[in-house]
Amino acid sequence: RRLLARLMKKQGCLPKRIVTDKLRSYGAALRQIMPTVEHRSHKGLNNRAENSHLPLRKRERIMQRFRSPGALQRFTSVFSAVRNLFVPPRSKHSAIAVHLHRIRAIAHWRAVTGTAA
């Protein structure tokens, strides 16, 4: 009930219909808060809303491994630059092309870091 009340306060006006997953407490809360609003809870109707949350869920899963958002930010700022060097672009390449890309990336990495094989 509190979630729906807070969401409706932010929205400003009553919607025509609300689509939720099949959790029964949504139906009970909607009947109390907004009895005139149509409530749909079919398993396929909520896919659009759930799929829009996937990037957020992925970030949340990654975030669980770090102690603070700052630690995550420090790691990703360095990791993304290194990853972009080693991972080939997403297009159809042959195995030889990917192999050559990795060899060039390792050679560049060694030149930058000053390490020798």
Torsion of CA 5, 3, 38, 29, to 10 degrees: -90
pLDDT, position 22: 77
Which residue, 20, 29, 27, is CA-closest to 2? 29
8 A C-beta contact, residue 19 and residue 49 = yes
Q: What separation, in Å, do the N-terminal and C-terminal C-alpha atoms of the chain show?
A: 63
Six token digits for residue 66: 């770090």
**How high is the pLDDT of residue 115?**
78
Q: What is the helix (H) or strand (E) element at residue 40, kind and residue range? A: strand 38-40
Average pLDDT for consecutive 10-residue bins of the chain (117 residues)?
A: 83 83 83 87 74 71 78 83 81 85 90 79
By C-alpha distance, which of 99, 27, 107 is closest to 116? Answer: 107
Instruction: Give pLDDT, residue 103.
Output: 92
pTM, entire model: 0.38
